[in-house]
Amino acid sequence: MTELLKQYSTVIIFILVTLLGFAVAQPPSSNCSLHFDIPSNSSCGNGDWGGFLHNSCCATVFDDYLYALGQRANQTGFIFLDSTEQRNCLDEMQKFQKNVFGCGIEQLTSGAGGCSDFSVGEVTNKFKDNLRSLDEKCNIQSIDGCDLCAKSWEKIRALDSPSSDPVSIKAETQVCRFAVLVSYTSTKIKDKDHLFTVYKCLEAQKYGM
Contact 60, 43 (CB under 8 A): yes
| pLDDT of the residue at 209 | 62
| pLDDT of the residue at 3 | 56
pLDDT one digit per residue (tens) for the chain, 209 residues: 555 444 545 545 444 434 444 333 334 446 899 998 876 666 777 899 999 999 888 998 999 999 999 999 999 999 999 999 999 999 999 988 888 999 999 999 999 999 999 999 999 999 999 999 999 999 998 888 899 999 999 999 998 776 778 888 899 999 999 999 999 999 999 999 999 999 999 999 887 66
| pLDDT of the residue at 89 | 96
Distance CA 69, CA 65 (A): 6
144-164: buried (b, 16+ CB within 10 Å) or exposed (e) per residue? Answer: eebeebbebbbebebeebeee
> If you ran DSSP here, which 8-state letter would residue 131 be given?
H
Angstrom CA distances, 57 to 50, 60, 200, stand at 14, 7, 13
> If you ran DSSP here, which 8-state letter would residue 24 be given?
H
